[in-house]
Amino acid sequence: MNTTPVRWKRAVVTGGAGFVGSHLCTALLDRGTRVVCVDDYSTGSPENVAHLARRDGFALLKADVCEPFEVEGPVDLVLHFASPASPADYLRLPLHTLDTGSLGTRNVLALAREHQARLVLASTSEVYGDPLRHPQPEDYWGNVNPVGPRSVYDEAKRFAEALTTADIAVRGTNAAIVRLFNTYGPRMRARDGRAVPTFIRQALAGEPLTVTGDGSQTRSLTYVDDTVRGVLALAGSDLAGPVNIGNPAELTMTELARLVIRLTGSSSELRFIERPTDDPAVRRPDITLARGKLQWDPLTDPEEGLRRTITWFRANA
């Protein structure tokens, strides 16, 4: 197993103007890697990478990965992070989400092969569905409803994993699959529908925090800086994956809501609303593989990560 830190000369980040993608662009530039950020702005925003526009080595390419696209010049790393990721987005863009996981992944694999570049596919803990095994290791096949409202995202990612695995086996593509658990941090959209930005927005406005169901369902929250470190550690290895990257620290939605209220100093109360269909009851990664093969561990505890995120939301309200 190669664990030597890698410095790439030039990287392509699809979905690079999105939440996680923009942080990856920044981290790569900080390492001295030139970056081509590819995005169609269906859920991302040029504002997320505006601070990078004048940095040497940064280029922004507006393109939909569902259509074949070209990147001129050498490329030695491709990070495929293009996809609607929040329920609000993939329920609004169901066909685009499926196309991005299928056609988009096929096009990005072709790009990586053309340049003989290392590829990392961003998959998700959603491939485990509403899990019957807890915590979730990479060899768990999941419990996914293939025709439920969340299926457009779950199955798009499951197909992308299958396509990438087949491409590795048949064509020898140098690729890896990372399964990201709930990532949060600065640059999340306040109304993207996910729990952390929703709770912070409501708490800062003094509104009731809307907790779905009875609030006992759990999530494992990973601060974005830790996610980026994990993705780049996998990219720099010779591991194909899939590899879970997530924080095993598990919180119920009620605990998360009350923590946000305390950290914001809000007077908000909780309001319980109907729980969405197929909403997972539990979510917690088994990160034995990432710890053993990548020497990766999350370093940011949820309270500290939420403090940083709240500070960003206050400044950018």
Helices (H) and strands (E) in the chain — how many of each?
10, 13
Q: How many CB atoms lie within 10 A of CB 193?
A: 15
**Contact (Cβ atoms closer than 8 angstroms) between residue 50 and residue 27:** no
Q: HSE-up of 117 (CA within 13 Å, CB side)? A: 26
Q: Please work out, in degrees rounded to the nearest 5, the angle formed at the alpha carbon of residue 111 by the alpha carbons of 296 and 57.
A: 70
Q: How many CB atoms lie within 10 A of CB 286?
A: 18
- What tokens appear for 263 in the block? 């950290």
Residues 6 or more apart in contact with residue 55 via CB below 8 angstroms: 29
**Contact (Cβ atoms closer than 8 angstroms) between residue 177 and residue 244:** no
**Backbone CA torsion sign across 92, 98, 101, 107:** negative
Residue 184 is among the residues annotated as catalytic for this protein: no
Residues 6 or more apart in contact with residue 157 via CB below 8 angstroms: 83, 101, 123, 124, 126, 127
Q: Is residue 241 left, alpha or beta, with left meaning phi > 0 and alpha meaning psi from -120 to 50?
A: left
Q: Which position among 90, 128, 153, 184 bears the catalytic label? A: 153
- Helix, coil or strand: residue 124: strand
Q: Which residues are catalytic?
A: 153
